[in-house]
């Protein structure tokens, strides 16, 4: 049995899937406008189920880290297949970055698989767009009303993993959420991962299937505290709220590290925080090819 400061760690695992991922660097006149662009671009991108992609801001970039020497942020975006990723990236570039004052976009990852960043967006320039090859990379300059929109032609697409997760089981809703917030703050410092849900936290964990034939997924009743007496529950009497943190990342190691950092941050709070147990969501290990075993991750 594993415990951290009195918090029980279940001997279970998170089950994750193969995805396609990309990184885009967004810069602007200042961080405020880089965030406006990035927040729009990663908005409504919590789950592939309804949004097509899962996206989030990976981290802030100092002017020395960006191609054009301005402040910026890096964005990670994941989808179940390359086609959806390409289509979503183009749509979001067009509606969120092209439109955002002073914003520019650059490739954030190298790969032989290239997907369009500004390749098709350039036609917005109606013939006035200008291509420039600089240091063997092609950029497009598109005249817009605030000046010129600068965008790199392509970015790289890589194999990635989505669906790493863990569950926080606590004695009250405020306690579960406070612990989740602490975990998210720590996990934001880990590179190559994003937590795509609102504030990084999801409260509606799901199970496969439903009593309604048209629904592929439905509420994870075994972890719903208000159903403790009505269903075959996973919760003990003292658990009143459960929060989940879902992680998408570029590699197994990145997600494993992020899970470890998050769980350990909650561990620091100890049992007195109201958190009693840490668990993980899976489908019996038969659906996803990647299994993140909590005990193994924490032992590393």
Partner 1 sequence: MMALTFSLKKTPSQPLDCSQLTANGLAGLSLVQMKNLPLAKSNLKVADFFEISGDDAQCIIFTNSTSQLHYIGHKMTGGIITIDGDAGDYLGAKMQNGTILCHGNAGNRVGDQMRRGLILVDGNVGNYCASRMIAGTIGVFGQVGAYLGFAMKRGTILLTQTPKLHATIQSCGKHTLPFLALLFKSFCALQTKFSEIQSQRVERFAGDLACGGKGEILVMSPTEK
Residues engaged in binding partner 1 (CB under 8 A): 67-70, 104, 127-128, 130-135, 139, 141, 147-148, 150
The residue written with tokens 């917030």 in the block is 181
Query: What contacts 159, CB < 8 A, 6 or more positions away?
Result: 18, 19, 20, 21
Q: Rounded to whole angstroms, how far apart are CA atoms 185 and 168? A: 15
Instruction: Compare residues 16 and 142 and give the one whose CB is closer to partner 1.
Output: 142
| Least distance from partner 1 to the Cβ atom of residue 141, Å | 5
Instruction: Compare residues 130 and 287 and give the one whose CB is closer to partner 1.
Output: 130
| Least distance from partner 1 to the Cβ atom of residue 15, Å | 43
Query: What contacts 75, CB < 8 A, 6 or more positions away?
Result: 23, 24, 25, 26, 38, 41, 42, 55, 56, 57, 58, 108
| Least distance from partner 1 to the Cβ atom of residue 70, Å | 8
Pair 118, 139: CB distance under 8 Å = yes
Q: 81-94 burial string, b = 16+ CB within 10 Å, else e?
A: eeebbbbbbbebbe
| Least distance from partner 1 to the Cβ atom of residue 41, Å | 18
Instruction: Compare residues 34 and 202 and give the one whose CB is closer to partner 1.
Output: 34
| Least distance from partner 1 to the Cβ atom of residue 169, Å | 49
| Least distance from partner 1 to the Cβ atom of residue 96, Å | 18
C-alpha distance across the termini of the chain, in Å: 17
CA angle, 170 then 196 then 287, to 5°: 80
Structure tokens at 108: 């954030």
Instruction: Compare residues 127 and 284 and give the one whose CB is closer to partner 1.
Output: 127
Instruction: Compare residues 13 and 106 and give the one whose CB is closer to partner 1.
Output: 106
């Amino acid at each position: 049995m594993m415990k951290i400061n009195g918090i029980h760690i279940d001997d279970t695992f998170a089950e994750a899937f193969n995805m396609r991922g990309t990184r885009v660097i967004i810069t602007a006149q200042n961080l405020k406008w880089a965030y406006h662009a990035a927040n729009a671009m990663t908005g409504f991108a919590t789950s592939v189920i309804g949004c097509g992609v899962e996206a989030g801001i990976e981290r802030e970039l100092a002017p020395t880290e960006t191609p054009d020497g301005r402040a910026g942020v890096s964005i990670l975006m994941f989808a179940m297949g390359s086609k959806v990723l390409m289509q979503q990236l183009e749509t979001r570039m067009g509606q969120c970055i092209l439109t955002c004052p002073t914003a520019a976009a650059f490739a954030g990852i190298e790969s032989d698989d290239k997907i369009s960043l500004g390749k098709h967006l350039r036609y917005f320039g109606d013939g006035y767009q200008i291509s420039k090859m600089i240091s063997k990379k092609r950029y497009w300059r598109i005249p817009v009303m605030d000046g010129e929109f600068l965008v790199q032609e392509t970015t790289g697409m890589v194999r990635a993993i989505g669906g790493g997760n863990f569950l926080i089981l606590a004695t009250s809703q405020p306690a579960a959420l406070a612990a989740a917030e602490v975990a998210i703050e720590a996990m934001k410092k880990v590179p190559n991962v994003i937590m795509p849900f609102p504030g990084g936290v999801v409260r509606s964990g799901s199970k496969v299937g439903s009593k309604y034939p048209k629904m592929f997924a439905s509420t994870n009743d075994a972890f719903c505290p208000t159903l403790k007496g009505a269903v075959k529950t996973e919760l003990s009497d003292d658990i009143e709220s459960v929060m989940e943190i879902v992680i998408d990342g570029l590699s197994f190691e990145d997600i494993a590290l992020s899970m470890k950092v998050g769980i350990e941050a909650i561990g620091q709070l100890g049992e007195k925080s109201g958190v009693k147990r840490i668990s993980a969501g899976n489908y019996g290990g038969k659906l996803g090819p990647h299994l993140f075993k909590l005990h193994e991750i924490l032992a590393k």
